[in-house]
Amino acid sequence: METPAEAMCCTRRLALVCAAAAIATLATAWPHAEDRQKPSAVFRAATQLVQVNLIAVDRKGDPVPDLNANELILTDNNAPQKISVFHLERNEPSSERPEPLPPGTFTNQAEGVRNVTVILMDNLNIDSHSGPLQQIADLAYAKGEARKFLRDVGTHDQVALYVMARQVSVLHDFTNDSRALMRALDSYRPSLAMPDYISGAGSNVMSGPSGRANGRATLRQRAPQESATEEAGFFIQRRVDATVEAFRAIATHLAGIPGRKNIVWLTTGFPIAVNYDPMAPGMRFDRSTGMFDLAGLAITSMSPQLQKAARAFNDANMAIYPVDVRGLMNASRFSAAMHTLSSEPGVSAGQTEIDSMIDIAERTGGRAFYATNGITEAIQAASSDARVTYLLGYYSSDSNYDGRFHSIKIRTTRPGVTLRYRRGYFALPPEQAGLGEHLDVFAPVVWSPLEASSLGVTVRARRRIRNGSPEAGLEVLIDPKSLRLENLNGRWVGQIELVIVNLSPSGENLKGFDQTRKLNLLPSTYEQMKREGLEFPLFFRIPPETERIRLVVRDSPSGSMGSVTIPLSQVPRS
């Protein structure tokens, strides 16, 4: 039976589909004059550049601020690459405060913010194997350790507080105001984590030895064990999928911020696989399928979900620093609940969750902290990586989108220097939607509590009464840096798509529409757009109960998306 939140989500998406189906897609060609230039080859304005954030530390762990490109050797799938972009980035305090936006102006761009740190309180993955009291205790401990760090936030830091539960919420956006951050953290009240099983499902869904009687099952026990395992896989899969969607929402939200983004993930993680213990008796590898099983029970790997999350992180230049809030732990065979001490080998408690933390940290160039009670120190170490970083970029000699993982290796000729960076990327083309997938691409951004920022969007809004009906007028300005245009026969061509949703106070979609605008620019218009941005107007009627307007814009060739939420109460009347 679906929860009220799930039912509301389904209702929202259905409303979006119905509204979009009721209004035909509008294709608007960009105005252009006669062009007599000769045809030319296609040229992409946004060439695919592989960018990597690099951390360099000396033997003491201090940052190395004077590295140069000549001291680095970079390979992509073992093929040497020329470093085309290389510069040092320092997270220095800004002396200028951003000017407040004029009335009726809204944007998804964070002015004057770069090289940031997000402390992510994970209310979704708090050791679902433990009881409610222990879960709350773990969250309270993580909250207290985060507060210790926030007391010493410096002027050079830009820190934000996020919470991951059924959806992501922002406790406080980026600031170096220590007191404001602590007040926001103090207001946070943890709740119980999403369960991995339902009442009466049998044993707890464990990925370690204690949930499976060490893999031994009689024939009479096998059927219920398999049923419980399948149910276990479903609920863990649900939690992991929710986590990955939250990760992607955060990545989309932070994509427009320049520099390195460090995510300090205070969590107990999720299993890297369901029903997995590499040292358990009965563990077998099926070479024909390439899958593991334990005494006939299939093992469900979370690697596809980790890959999906890592791609979003890497696209947004984000490094993940998982911090296990459980601190030091004993192996489950030493638990007080065990009546006898088992001599059989086993993994330490929570090891599969730790494996997933290590995996996602290595994929993104971060570090995993576990088996330590020094959580405050771990947060400080992760945050310090945002202060001195290098951004390097190269144009891969292999320009084929083969869909495979490309391994990045960087080494330095300078002795005593250790480098940290993401270990590679998947050579996938930009995510593009077909006609049938159009709404599926927009829906996560439309309903996300966070603004998407990989495409910079600024909106000047006003409202008026026309022919007795309320109407909104939007002047939409798009940052051209994120647009991908092609030079085709002397014109710069591209395409943007947008969705407008009018939302009631309860979050219901009252009415919406989608629109496609094709770009076909003369060279002079293209040069003007590069200087001033791409601007166009939108006019539409507002349903009477509208509380806020949600605008989502997508650059079709690159897949970059930007969103802006416009509270109607803040829109001036004209």
Q: What are the backbone dihedrals phi and psi of residue 242, each rounded to the nearest 5 degrees, phi first?
A: -65, -40
Q: Are residues 315 and 342 in the same domain?
A: yes
- For 59-68, what is each residue's pLDDT tens digit? 988 889 999 9
Q: Are residues 266 and 376 in the same domain?
A: yes
Least confident window among 91-95, 133-137, 239-243:
91-95
Q: Are residues 301 and 421 in the same domain?
A: no
What is the average per-residue pLDDT within 487-498? 93
Q: Are residues 422 and 478 in the same domain?
A: no
What is the average per-residue pLDDT within 94-106? 78
How far apart CA 169 and CA 395 sit, in angstroms, is: 36
Residue 364 pLDDT class (50, 70, 90 cuts): confident
338, pLDDT greater than 50:
no
Q: How far is CA 279 from the centre of its chain?
A: 33
For residue 281, what pLDDT is reported?
52
128, pLDDT greater than 90:
no
- Other Cβ atoms within 10 Å of 498 Cβ, number: 23
307, pLDDT greater than 90:
no
Q: Are residues 173 and 293 in the same domain?
A: yes
Q: Are residues 294 and 422 in the same domain?
A: no
What is the average per-residue pLDDT within 539-547? 93
Residue 162 pLDDT class (50, 70, 90 cuts): very high
Structure tokens at 207: 């990925």
Residue by residue, DSSP assigns 249-297 as HHHHHHTTS-S-EEEEEEE----SEET--TTSTTEEEETTTTEEEETTE
Question: What is the value of pTM for the model shown?
Answer: 0.73
State the virtual CA torsion across 23, 430, 519, 24 in degrees, nearest 10: -10
Q: Are residues 266 and 382 in the same domain?
A: yes
Q: Are residues 463 and 478 in the same domain?
A: yes
For residue 561, what pLDDT is reported?
92
26, pLDDT greater than 60:
no
- Strands 318-324 and 261-267, how do they pair? parallel
Question: Residue 465: enclosing H or E segment and its boundaries?
Answer: strand 457-466
140: domain CATH number is 3.40.50.410
For residue 176, what pLDDT is reported?
86
How many separate domains does the chain show? 3
Q: How far is CA 357 from the centre of its chain?
A: 15
For residue 259, what pLDDT is reported?
79
Task: Give the residues across from 293 on adjacent strands.
Answer: 284, 298
Percentage of residues in the chain with pLDDT exceeding 90?
A: 30
41, pLDDT greater than 70:
no
Question: What's the length of the chain?
Answer: 574
205, pLDDT greater than 50:
no
Task: Tell me how far CA of residue 505 lies from CA of 257, 484, 502, 568, in angstroms.
Answer: 30, 36, 10, 11
Burial profile 233-256: b = 16 or more Cβ within 10 angstroms, e = fewer: bbbbbebbebbbbbbbbbbbbbbb
Residue 547 pLDDT class (50, 70, 90 cuts): very high
How far apart CA 403 and CA 429 sit, in angstroms, is: 8
For residue 499, what pLDDT is reported?
94
CA angle 395, 399, 400 (to 5 degrees): 155
How far apart CA 58 and CA 551 sit, in angstroms, is: 47
For residue 134, what pLDDT is reported?
76
The parent domain of residue 246 ranges over 116-386
Least confident window among 234-248, 441-455, 497-511:
234-248
Residue 39 pLDDT class (50, 70, 90 cuts): very low
For residue 343, what pLDDT is reported?
38
